[in-house]
Chain A
Amino acid sequence: MVDQPVKIEVRDLHLFYRQHEALKGISFTIFPNEIFGIIGPAQSGKTSLLRAINRTLEFTPGTRYSGSITVDGQEVGKVRNVYELRRKIGMVAPLPVGLPMTIYDNVAFAPRMGGMRQKGEIDATVEQCLRQAALWDEVKDRLHTLGTNLSGGQQQRLTIARALSHQPEILCLDEFSIAIDPVSTMRIEEVLKTLRQQMTIILVTNLVQQARRLADRTMFLFEGKIIEVDRSEVIFSNKPAQQKTYDYVNGIFG
């Protein structure tokens, strides 16, 4: 993998919430068009990492980090147009957030804020994103009803459609299946398998099996440190490099 182009590179990242050090010097690389799984117990710094990459961390007072995060070779802390950076990264939160507007407006929001004006163009984007998120068939007849009236699973797919609506190159999913049923989870997992042809996917998950099913490579984060990063076959095999990884994956941690 030496000559492979790099999508995201993190070097010696330390991340602080006031005095508390959430990430303690982590380094790893994410390659284009791979699904990169991040597993680890709660409080291990997974969400903070995602928020540092798209720079929404700075909305939380008292946070700072040292080290380097580059996306496509650009240092995220130094980009001039932070909105462009965020548009390059689609972000899906653990709990579905339907904005209090219609299904159509939910998906059209980002393109409109990005300056898209033509109705035909917006229509096409909305349809494309809802199709990509496997939601189109269920909602095409009620695009102009409230997004918040959808079921939890549908809302999460709506959130994914919205994350896709600004044509990101990277899609981050932060424990997307935490609040939805297994059937919806399976549908979204199928969606991800298709999407990887077009983009890089970071999949933060509490479900070890989900990372095993989907991720090409998996990183095990624990208490702000990387225990192990490797191809998923290795991480989930009988003999990963670290005993801790084996214990966590097999549920004998503690």
Chain B
Amino acid sequence: MFEATDQTRRKQRQEKAIQYLLTAMTTIIVLPLLLIIFYLLYKAAPILSLEFLFENPIHGMRAGGIWAPLLGTIYLVLISLLIATPVGIFAAIYLNEYSRESWMTRVINLAVVNLAGVPSIVHALFGLGAFVLFAGIGRSILAASLTLAIMTLPVIIASTKESLAAVPHSFREACWNVGATRWQTIRHVVLPNSISGILTGVILQVSRAAGETAPVMFTGAVFFKAIQTGDPFAYGLLDQCMALSMHLFTISTQVPDVPEALTYGTAVVLLGVVLLFNALAIFLRVKLRGKKKW
């Protein structure tokens, strides 16, 4: 009774082997991330300081800090967030809660999925044509933010739709049965129970936008621009700005004799901005999931 046969032993060996394989694969994912972070920090160590964050680049960008590009990236991210969030969330609510299955909605859904796969350089060209030239906004923070917003919208819509669809249908029916309107149902039951997933999706997209180079390079970011240090309102909506991603590209490929630490320092800050947004997403998720009640 309960003796291990040869077949059982073979299964056990197989089980172990699979476990090791899966563990190894997972480690392989984490390892590069840790290596990148530590390598960057190690290379950038000599220059990292508060002054580095709050000073403009000087001497043809061979010294100084990164205040102008840092502030520019923050502007671009926040404004594109401001534009993409309401549009994306309301579009997703329409698609998931109101629209009926028809060839129109099928085309829209297909378009959303396909738009998500459009390369960022194509979005950049579109932004240049549509916002900078056609709409006449000119190369500016506004045009660049609009371009980033368009680029992130499809994924925001897709992830929001998924979060909405995860709310059980029986909740909606229970609300309709007691005479609640569609909007009351969405406002009081569907949204409170999906908001953590929705916001996570939105923020992760925006952190992606922070790292994009091509779209902002075409539509509003400049090689160099000195701004008032320490003033968070140094850029206007229609000004051109510097951006971290483009600054990194510039000093590592376009300008000769830039100290290595400066390049790595810029990379660390860019990574820091992205990770900060991701951390915010995780924080919001945990915080809001506590309110989810089923």
Contacts and interface: CB of A to CB of B under 8 A. Distances in A.
B193 A100 contact: yes
Interface stretch (B31-39, B128-136, B167-175): B167-175
A146 interface: yes
Contacts of A99: 171, 174-175, 189
B177 A54 contact: yes
Interface residues of A, number: 30
Contacts of B292: 100
Contacts of A86: 176-179
A157 interface: no
Contacts of A162: 174, 178
B180 A61 contact: no
A113 B188 contact: yes
A166 B179 contact: yes
Nearest to A85: B179
Interface of B: 100-101, 170-181, 184, 188-189, 192-193, 292-294
B173 A165 contact: no
Contacts of B293: 100-101, 146, 148
Contacts of A114: 179
Contact of A148 (B177, B178, B179, B294): B294
A54 B174 CA distance: 12
8 contacts: A59-B172, A61-B101, A83-B181, A86-B177, A100-B192, A109-B188, A113-B184, A146-B293
A163 interface: yes
A117 B199 CA distance: 31
Given A93-B170, A97-B173, A99-B171, A61 B178 contact: no
A46 B68 CA distance: 68
Given A99-B189, A100-B189, A101-B293, A59 B177 contact: no
Nearest to A82: B179
B174 A61 contact: no
Closest 7 A/B residue pairs (Cβ)? A100-B293, A110-B178, A87-B179, A91-B177, A86-B179, A83-B179, A100-B294
Interface string A79-102: 000011111011101010111110
Contacts of B172: 59
B178 A166 contact: yes
A250 interface: no
Given A56-B176, A61-B100, A146-B293, A97 B170 contact: yes
Contacts of A90: 177-178
Contacts of B101: 61
A109 B175 contact: yes
A93 B173 contact: yes
B171 to A, nearest CB: 6
Contacts of A56: 173, 176-177
Contacts of A85: 179
A47 to B, nearest CB: 11
A49 to B, nearest CB: 15
Nearest to A58: B176
Given A93-B170, A113-B184, A59 B178 contact: no
B171 A109 contact: no
A83 B292 CA distance: 27
A86 B173 CA distance: 12
Given A61-B100, A113-B188, 5 more contacts: A83-B179, A89-B177, A93-B170, A101-B293, A109-B178
Contacts of B100: 61
B193 A163 contact: no
B193 to A, nearest CB: 6
Nearest to B294: A100
A163 B173 contact: no
A162 B177 CA distance: 10
